[in-house]
C-alpha cells in the first residue's frame, strides 16, 4: 500500500471512525482502524462487532493494499499534524507516515484478522431527509434506556403508522416520539441507541439525504462519504401508544424559556430528593408554580405566567423535564396532565410532530 492523502481529509475520517474501536476488547485488532487503499480512494473503518463505520476519502493511490493500525495512536497523531499532504506506505505490517516535517512508523496488525460486518445481501431500502433526521435524533435518542436490564428499551424504534414515519425512544420513565416523514413502505426497525448517537455525529450539515438498507438483522445508513452498519435489536417494541394519554383536562401553555429557567433553579434544591420537584398550575392565578424542598439544603419556589385551563399538581424528575424542554424548538410549550398519578405530556402547541411523555413521581 502506498498513497498520498491530505491531513484534513484523513483527520476527518479518523474523527468519525476511531472512537468506535474497542480498546477493552479481548481481540487486539478491534482496537485498530482498517485502512484500505483501492480505486483512487482510501477507506477508514472501525467496528466493535455491534456497530461498524466506514468513511471514504479521496486519495492518490500508487499501490493498493490494506492494514489495521492502532486507532488511538493513529488518530491522535494525524490530528496533531499541521495541514499538509500525508504519505502512507506499508512495509511488512509497518505503516510509514511521512510529511514535510514528520516521519514516523506505526506497527499494524494484518488486515485478515479484522472482522467485517456481514453484508446485507437482500434488504429493503428507503431514504430520509438528513436535516429532519438530524433534528429528530436530537429530540429522541436521549430518552432511550442506558441500562441493559431491558435491552428492548436501549433502542430507538423507527416505524411507520398510517403512512407516517416515526422515531421513538423510552426508558419506561419517559418517552419521546418524533414524526420524521412519510413513506408507503412498512418499516419496523429497532436500532441500538448507541448506533443512533454515532449516526448523529456522521450527519454533516451539508448532507441532504440518508439512504437506509436493512434486513432482519442489520441496517446500513449511507450518509455522504460514510457508511454506518449496525446490528438490530431482535425484540418486539412495547405498544407504547397505549401509555400516551388521549385527552388531558389540565392544560398549560407557557413560554419554553420561562419554564426551563424556573425548572433549572428548582432543580438546584432537588438534588437531595433525586431531582423531585412539584409543579402546580392554577386557572385562577394563570401561572405555573414549581416547588423543591430539601431538608439539608433549603427550599425554593418559582413561578411563571401561563395560560392555564384547569387546576392541579404533579411531581416530576426535574432532569427529565429539563432534557425534554431542551429538545424542543418552539417558543411555547403545552404542559398537560389529568392527575398527579397519570403521565404528563409536553408538546408544541403549534406543531404536533413531537411529543414528550414523563411519568410522575410519588409526591
**pLDDT higher than threshold 90 for residue 121:** no
- Is residue 37 a contact partner of residue 63, using CB atoms and an 8 Å limit? yes
Residue found by looking up cell 392541579 in the block: 312
Summarised one tens digit per residue, pLDDT across range 136-146 is 999 999 999 99
**pLDDT higher than threshold 70 for residue 363:** no
2-113 CATH choice from 1.10.10.10, 3.50.50.60, 3.40.50.150, 3.10.150.10: 3.10.150.10
Summarised one tens digit per residue, pLDDT across range 308-357 is 999 999 999 999 999 999 999 999 999 999 999 999 999 999 998 999 99
Q: Which of 204, 234, 238 is nearest to 219 (CA)?
A: 234
Q: Which class is domain 245-358? A: alpha beta
Reported as a pLDDT band with limits 50, 70 and 90, residue 204 is confident
Summarised one tens digit per residue, pLDDT across range 243-296 is 999 889 999 999 999 999 999 999 999 887 788 999 999 999 999 999 998 767
CATH code of the domain made up of 124-242: 3.10.150.10
pLDDT at 274: 84
Taking phi over 0 as left and psi of -120 to 50 as alpha, with beta for the rest, 299 belongs to: beta
Summarised one tens digit per residue, pLDDT across range 16-68 is 999 999 878 888 999 999 999 999 999 999 999 999 999 999 999 999 999 99
Residues spanned by CATH 3.10.150.10 within the chain?
2-113, 124-242, 245-358
- Is residue 279 a contact partner of residue 360, using CB atoms and an 8 Å limit? no
Amino acid at each position: 500500500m502506498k498513497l498520498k492523502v491530505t491531513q484534513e481529509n484523513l483527520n476527518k475520517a479518523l474523527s468519525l471512525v476511531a472512537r468506535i474501536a474497542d480498546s477493552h476488547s479481548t481481540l487486539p485488532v478491534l482496537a485498530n482502524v482498517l485502512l484500505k487503499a483501492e480505486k483512487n480512494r482510501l477507506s477508514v473503518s472501525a467496528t466493535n462487532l455491534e456497530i461498524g463505520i466506514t468513511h471514504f476519502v479521496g486519495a492518490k493511490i500508487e499501490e493498493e493494499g490494506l492494514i489495521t493500525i492502532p486507532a488511538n495512536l493513529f488518530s491522535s497523531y494525524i490530528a496533531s499534524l499541521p495541514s499538509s499532504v500525508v504519505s502512507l506506505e506499508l512495509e511488512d505490517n509497518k505503516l510509514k507516515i511521512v510529511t514535510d516535517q514528520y516521519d514516523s512508523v506505526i506497527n499494524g496488525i494484518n488486515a485478515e484478522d479484522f472482522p467485517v460486518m456481514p453484508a446485507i445481501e437482500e434488504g429493503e431500502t428507503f431514504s430520509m431527509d438528513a436535516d429532519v433526521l438530524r433534528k429528530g435524533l436530537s429530540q429522541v435518542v436521549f430518552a432511550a434506556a442506558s441500562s441493559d436490564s431491558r435491552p428492548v428499551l436501549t433502542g430507538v424504534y423507527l416505524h411507520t403508522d398510517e403512512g407516517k414515519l416515526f422515531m421513538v425512544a423510552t426508558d419506561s420513565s419517559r418517552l419521546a416520539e418524533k414524526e420524521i416523514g412519510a413513506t408507503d413502505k412498512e418499516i419496523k426497525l429497532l436500532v441500538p441507541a448507541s448506533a443512533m448517537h454515532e449516526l448523529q455525529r456522521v450527519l454533516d450539515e451539508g448532507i441532504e439525504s440518508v439512504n437506509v438498507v436493512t434486513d432482519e438483522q442489520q441496517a446500513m445508513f449511507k450518509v455522504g462519504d460514510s457508511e454506518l452498519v449496525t446490528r438490530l435489536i431482535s425484540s418486539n417494541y412495547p405498544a407504547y401508544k397505549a401509555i400516551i394519554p388521549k385527552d388531558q383536562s389540565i392544560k398549560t401553555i407557557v413560554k419554553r424559556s420561562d419554564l426551563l429557567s424556573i425548572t433549572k433553579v428548582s432543580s438546584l434544591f432537588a438534588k437531595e430528593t433525586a431531582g423531585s420537584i412539584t409543579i402546580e398550575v392554577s386557572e385562577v392565578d394563570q401561572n405555573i408554580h414549581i416547588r423543591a424542598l430539601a431538608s439539608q439544603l433549603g427550599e425554593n419556589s418559582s413561578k411563571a405566567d401561563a395560560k392555564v385551563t384547569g387546576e392541579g399538581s404533579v411531581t416530576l424528575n426535574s432532569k427529565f423535564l429539563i432534557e425534554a424542554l431542551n429538545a424542543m424548538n418552539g417558543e411555547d410549550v403545552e404542559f398537560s396532565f389529568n392527575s398527579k398519578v397519570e403521565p404528563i405530556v409536553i408538546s408544541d402547541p403549534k406543531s404536533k410532530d413531537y411529543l414528550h411523555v414523563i411519568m410522575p413521581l410519588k409526591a
